Amino acid sequence: MQVKGNQPSLLQHCEHVAATAAPIATADSRDLARNRQEDRHVEVYAPGGALCDGEWGTLIAAIVRVTRSTLIRSAATGMWKRREEAAFYASSVMLPAETFASAIRGHWAVENENHWVRDVTLAEDASRKEAHRLVCRGYTDVVDADLSKYFDTIPHSDLLKSVARRIVDRHVLQLIKLWLKAPVEERDGDGRRRMSGGKSSMRGTPQGGVVSPMLSVIYMNRFLKHWRLTGRGEAFRANVVNYADDFVILSRGYAEEALAWTKAVMTKLGLTINEVKTSLKDARRESFDFLGYSIGPRHLPNGGRRYLGASPSKKSILRVKTKVSELLRPSNKGAWPIVRNRLNRLLAGWSAYFGYGSLASAYEAVDRHVYDRVMCFLCRRHKAQGRSMRQFPRDHVHGELGVLRLRRGRQVSPASALR
């Protein structure tokens, strides 16, 4: 179990143990991928007398601290950026440090396979590339599926059965059960208080909770496993590409049959397909959105040949434009270096996530919006008349003022299918 700020006394004790005691075991590991390197150092501690006397005493046998150092290379600038973070875990059994390292790495891998972690994760990157690759190979009959209120409708009894196949520690299973029954206080659009969950609740796992992403992935695996065991891939000449509860079915001529089968299975699992948002599409004639990307027909510049490409979706571009506008709003009185650094971090993170496919038009649209907003922001600050392009030309903004430019020369798609 990961220890976070919602358990302040337990977190404080873990930090005290790590600061005052020597670890009884350590382990190191490294993962390498294109544009990414991750090093992890695991330290195992005995829980200590103060914890044993408290409410957690009968449950926790080991405290684990993981220090993670990540190097990420920006697709836009080519620069490497280091990020350091540490996390504490509590275990009901004492295990070798290598075993803890492997288990925690698996936990992070599961967390990274969902939208709660918006880092440039390897699993999400692989999912969208796989969807594009299959479309280019002829799997162009698409079931663009959407589940209605997935997190709110997961049945507790079936979910706990799936968890019990993976966890044998009864104390951990009890903690997960208590987590599912925890009441949640929310506020609606008018600010009114609303309670959900509680002991009488039989469905749902709280969105945004520390363990909810992992539980959602475990339950979604029931559908994927049934797809494999019943041979639907061969029957429908199709592949399922998923990322947590987001999924598409890419078929060769059997999209309608695949959708009908999916609806029936989801009903048995206690889930519901969103009829409004779910659709059938022919990727040769129209695009579909998946994980922030739009995949479908494109044309080379100047009336060139047609191909099946992938590029950031209109919603993704609009979303980053909105964030830029919010950052450079008139009420922002921060010093320019601070504002610029925040803006560059936003742009670098967005370009690192959207670093695959046909990028030129998307990057150019974002660059134009950034320049327009920066120019207005500086004109207001310097009380310049109008937009004063002469005072703040584009080269000056992206040069001396240090604003990141996404498009540096022509962007070439690393993967496309010419038709």
d(CA 362, CA 364): 5
Task: Provide the whole-model pTM.
Answer: 0.65
**Among candidates 97, 91, 15, which has minimal Cα distance to 59?**
91
Q: Determine the straight-line distance between the first and last CA of the chain, rounded to whole angstroms.
A: 51
* Cα→Cα distances 355→166, 336, 406, Å: 35, 28, 10
Token pair of 110 as six digits: 């599961």
Vertex 284, ends 278 and 289: CA angle to 5°?
Answer: 40
CA-based torsion, 235, 241, 243, 245: positive or negative: negative
Contact assessment for residue 295 and residue 308, using Cβ atoms and an 8 Å cutoff: yes
Token pair of 98 as six digits: 């290598």
d(CA 130, CA 135): 9
d(CA 34, CA 359): 18
Single-letter amino acid, residue 205: T
Return the HEC string of the chain. Answer: CEECCCCHHHHHHHHHHHHHCCCCEEEEEEEEECCEEEEEEEEEECCCHHHHCCCCCCCCCEEEEEEEEEEEECCCCCCEEEEEEEEEEEECCCCCHHHHHHHHHHHHHHHHCCCCCCCCCHHHHHHHHHHHHHHHCCCCEEEECCECCHHHHCEHHHHHHHHHCCCCCHHHHHHHHHHHCCCEEEECCCCCEEEECCCCCCECCCCCCCCHHHHHHHHHHHHHHHHHHCCHHHHCCEEEEEECCEEEEEECCCHHHHHHHHHHHHHHCCCCECCCCCEEEECCCCCEEECCEEEEEEECCCCCCEEEEEEECHHHHHHHHHHHHHHCCCCCCCCHHHHHHHHHHHHHHHHHHCCCCCCHHHHHHHHHHHHHHHHHHHHHHCCCCCCCCCCCCHHHHHCCCCCCCCCCCCCCCCCCEEC
Token pair of 237 as six digits: 């000449």
* Cα→Cα distances 367→318, 324, 394, 397, Å: 12, 11, 10, 11
Q: What is the pLDDT along the chain (419 residues), one digit of tens a residue?
A: 777 766 777 788 888 888 888 899 999 888 877 677 888 899 999 887 655 545 555 678 888 999 888 888 766 567 787 888 888 888 877 888 888 887 776 555 434 333 333 333 456 677 888 999 999 999 999 999 999 989 889 999 999 999 998 888 888 888 888 888 877 777 777 778 877 777 788 888 877 677 888 898 899 999 999 999 999 999 999 999 988 888 999 999 999 999 999 999 999 999 999 999 999 999 999 999 999 999 999 888 777 788 999 999 999 999 999 999 999 998 888 888 889 899 998 998 898 888 888 888 999 999 999 999 998 888 887 776 655 556 777 788 888 888 988 886 444 444 444 33
Rounded to the nearest 10 degrees, the angle between the axes of helix 336-353 and helix 360-381 is 170
**Among candidates 67, 66, 69, which has minimal Cα distance to 81?**
69
Rounded to the nearest 10 degrees, the angle between the axes of helix 360-381 and helix 314-327 is 20
d(CA 362, CA 8): 44
Question: What local confidence, expressed as pLDDT, does residue 51 receive?
Answer: 56
Q: Which residues of 387-398 are buried (b: 16+ CB within 10 A; e: fewer)?
A: eeeeebeeeebb
